[in-house]
Chains A and B, each alone.
Chain A
């Protein structure tokens, strides 16, 4: 399959990604990335996080602009509801990672997408975070993602694209597998 001759265009530069994969296979140290965010308390449960730089390809990198992401909690938690909750932002992270992956995999497989829409929900028993019941975990008890995809492909080809996207998704791995977390103060 040659993407250069294809008329399929999902807006993903697969050729560049494949070039990068080959280049990084020969220079694995350049594949070491560090992603960063900073988070500042505003008031109550309202925070503002900032994303601007990251490390990769052996050097410091800058986003084209500085992005900010606010988070808060809803009024039913006696908060001001100035922004989405952190757990909703986690869902956003998973859905946007999987959806970006769908576009990239479809491009690579010469499948033209016309529309892709994911809905995602995470169930949570808040007796965990409220400390009511120690048998209840704090986090989601399950996450469900539903895709509506319109594309020039059979249903099974589309399902295979979605499956491959999960296999290569960073956020999918982050939420399905444990990660050591180190928190330091000052």
Chain B
């Protein structure tokens, strides 16, 4: 049995968030180790589909002491490029990463925490949870009623369209994952029907600039968790309908119906092999259209106030989402119309190894802007952890700076 090692801080997870924290801890001379179950950027290596590209432009991946150096600032990284970027960051900051070390439990002790791994145990005063927000695919309970003849999978299992059976595919979910996979699968010759619930529609490019640029400069991405009306709601907002492609095309529902994808309402139930869909498709689309207009209004106001109107293209508004007058409310799953259901219904983190009573009744870690409800424990990389950008690569830096300051003050007592 290996001896128990110790560090002032154990960071769990060597993705962009854990590495940003490592850099900030180094800057503050706090000795630490970064434990990684696989290789650096493990989730990016092993849990993404092949064609995925980052949804934020190259310039926007800004980490403490590191950023984009290439000649295509407005492009979107492929997965190998993302992995390379994070790998190079780990090297550049000389992060003390211990790879292939799977954390099996974290327990509270008198002096801090005991972190058990399959490569021996660690004692620490403080611990940073940076294992990501998307470890487990959420699948709604209605999936249990789907007949066995239908193949079902989640985005974590999906790699390429050709792994799917021939024939129709129902993609459940119309956020970033659902819309991208619906497009790719439909273009592979498998007719796609998308079951559409709440979603967030945005244009990829607005007035000649990337929507992410606008949201960044207008301060939308920097809105803080303690400054907005309903943080619980903000943390549940679905991801933006975006794709990162060379032609910088918008991927909203109109783009999908334009290539022949069918839209139906939110899946409400499966009874005796009949899938039932909510009659709320129109309202879901209208809500997203109205919300997009509010975002564009915010951008236009910012542009006018900050004198950039002359540097960008004129104000524009987009056609409303087109929805059938009477979309189908039911589908016989035995009819052969679809052979596969892909549940693009969101993700949740996996904290099954965290043996500290910090969970709310929904199984999420209780925290105040990343300061977990257990002394000396910190959380990174969750949706709207401290800012709207917290779950992005670009959000890790500010959160790591804030939380490493808090951690330093905690150590100083």
Contacts and interface: CB of A to CB of B under 8 A. Distances in A.
A177 to B, nearest CB: 7
A179 B329 contact: yes
Contact-residue bracket for chain A: 10 to 19
B265 to A, nearest CB: 7
B273 interface: no
B278 interface: yes
Contacts of A131: 230, 233
Contacts of B233: 131
A58 B317 CA distance: 43
A181 B329 contact: no
B329 A177 contact: yes
Interface of B is mostly: mixed
Nearest to A132: B232
A181 B329 CA distance: 11
Contact of A134 (B236, B265, B276, B278): B236
B107 to A, nearest CB: 29
B236 A180 contact: no
A132 B326 CA distance: 31
Contacts of B326: 180
Contacts of B277: 178
Contacts of B279: 178-181
Contacts of A135: 362
A99 to B, nearest CB: 25
A178 to B, nearest CB: 4
Contacts of A182: 282
A177 B276 contact: yes
B280 interface: yes
A183 interface: yes
Contacts of A177: 276, 329-330
Contacts of A132: 232
Interface in B253-279: 265, 268, 276-279
A134 B233 CA distance: 9
A133 B230 CA distance: 13
Contacts of B161: none
B294 to A, nearest CB: 16
A26 to B, nearest CB: 27
Contacts of B282: 180-183
Given A131-B233, A177-B329, A178-B329, A183 B276 contact: no
A114 B404 CA distance: 77
A122 to B, nearest CB: 17
B135 interface: no
Contacts of A179: 279, 329
Interface in B275-319: 276-283
A135 B198 CA distance: 13
Nearest to B268: A178
B78 to A, nearest CB: 33
Interface string A171-186: 0000001111111000
A133 B236 CA distance: 10
Interface in B135-179: none
B329 A180 contact: yes
Contacts of B330: 177-178
B369 to A, nearest CB: 21
Contacts of A181: 279-280, 282-283
Contacts of B96: none
A178 B283 contact: no
B327 interface: yes
A180 B281 contact: yes
A179 B283 CA distance: 13
Interface in A130-146: 131-135
Nearest to B198: A134
Given A131-B233, A134-B236, A180 B327 contact: yes
27 contacts: A131-B230, A131-B233, A133-B362, A134-B236, A135-B362, A177-B276, A177-B329, A177-B330, A178-B265, A178-B268, A178-B276, A178-B277, A178-B278, A178-B279, A178-B329, A178-B330, A179-B329, A180-B265, A180-B279, A180-B281, A180-B282, A180-B329, A181-B280, A181-B283, A182-B282, A183-B282, A183-B283
Given A177-B329, A178-B265, A180-B326, 9 more contacts: A131-B230, A132-B232, A135-B362, A177-B330, A178-B330, A180-B282, A180-B327, A181-B282, A183-B283
Interface of B: 230, 232-233, 236, 265, 268, 276-283, 326-327, 329-330, 362
Q: Which 8 A-B residue pairs are closest in the complex by CB-CB distance?
A: A180-B279, A178-B329, A179-B279, A178-B279, A181-B279, A134-B236, A178-B276, A180-B326
